[in-house]
Amino acid sequence: MKVSNSSNAARFNLGKTMKLGVVGLATTGVLGSALLLTPDNTPIAQAQTAGAATTTMETAVFNQINAYRATQKLPALKLNSTITTQARNHSVTQASTKRMSHDGFQTRINTIGQTVPWSGAAENVAYNYGYSDPATVAVNGWIKSPGHLANIKGNFNLTGIGVAKNSQGQVYFTQIFIRSR
C-alpha cells in the first residue's frame, strides 16, 4: 500500500472562477463527484464522494468492523456524522491525488474536536483496485495488519468512514476512530 495527503479542507477547482470546498459539499448535502483540475485547469481525476456505491461501501466497512469487534467481545462503535465528514474529505483527497496517507490527520482530529471532545484518536486508510467487493478487501487487509488491527480493537466508541473512487476505479478508504470524553 502507498500513502497520501489531506489538509483541513481540500479545495476543488470546478472552473476558472468557481471553487468549492469538500467540507461545503458534505455539509450542504450536495454530494456526488468533484472534478479536480491542475492550476492550468487540466482535469486530473474525478473523485466520487458519497454517491450510492461509496455510501454502500461505507456501510459495509462499518458493519464488518463492528462484527469483528463483536467477535472480540468489544462494544460496537457508533457512527458519527462529524467524523464521517472528515473521513470522506480525506478519502476524496486521496482518490484525487492517487496517494494514500495519513497526512493532515492532526488537522482532521482537531476539526472533529471542535464538535466532539475526544481523549483518543486513530485512523486507518486503505485503497484497492479491481475487486468486486472493495470494502471487504480493505477490512480484511486491516485485520491482517497488527497496527491497523490495534486501531480496530482499540478503546474507541465513535467512528466515521469515508470512501471515494476515482475515474481509474481506485477506491480509497478512511476510517477515523475516536474515544469521546
At 131-157, the pLDDT tens digits run 999 999 999 999 999 999 999 999 999
The span from the CA of 4 to the CA of 84, in Å, is 18
For residue 40, is pLDDT > 60?
A: no
pLDDT recorded at residue 2: 29
Mean per-residue pLDDT, 123-138: 95
Provide the whole-model pTM.
Answer: 0.74
Q: Is 7 helix (H, G, I), strand (E, B) or coil?
A: coil
Q: How confident is the model at residue 52 (pLDDT cuts 50, 70, 90)?
A: confident
pLDDT recorded at residue 53: 84
pLDDT recorded at residue 79: 98
Q: Beta strand pairing status for 78-79 and 43-48?
A: unpaired
- Of residues 4 and 168, the one with the higher pLDDT is 168
What burial class does residue 156 get, using C-beta atoms within 10 Å of its C-beta: 0-12 exposed, 13-18 middle, 19+ buried? Answer: buried
For residue 14, is pLDDT > 90?
A: no
For residue 30, is pLDDT > 80?
A: no
pLDDT recorded at residue 24: 20
pLDDT digits (tens, 9 = 90+) for 63-110: 999 999 999 999 999 999 999 999 999 999 999 999 999 999 999 999
For residue 3, is pLDDT > 80?
A: no
Q: Which of 6, 5, 9 is nearest to 21 (CA)?
A: 9
- Concatenated DSSP letters of 127-148: EEES-S-HHHHHHHHHHHSHHH
Cα end-to-end span (Å), the chain: 33
For residue 57, is pLDDT > 60?
A: yes
pLDDT recorded at residue 44: 38
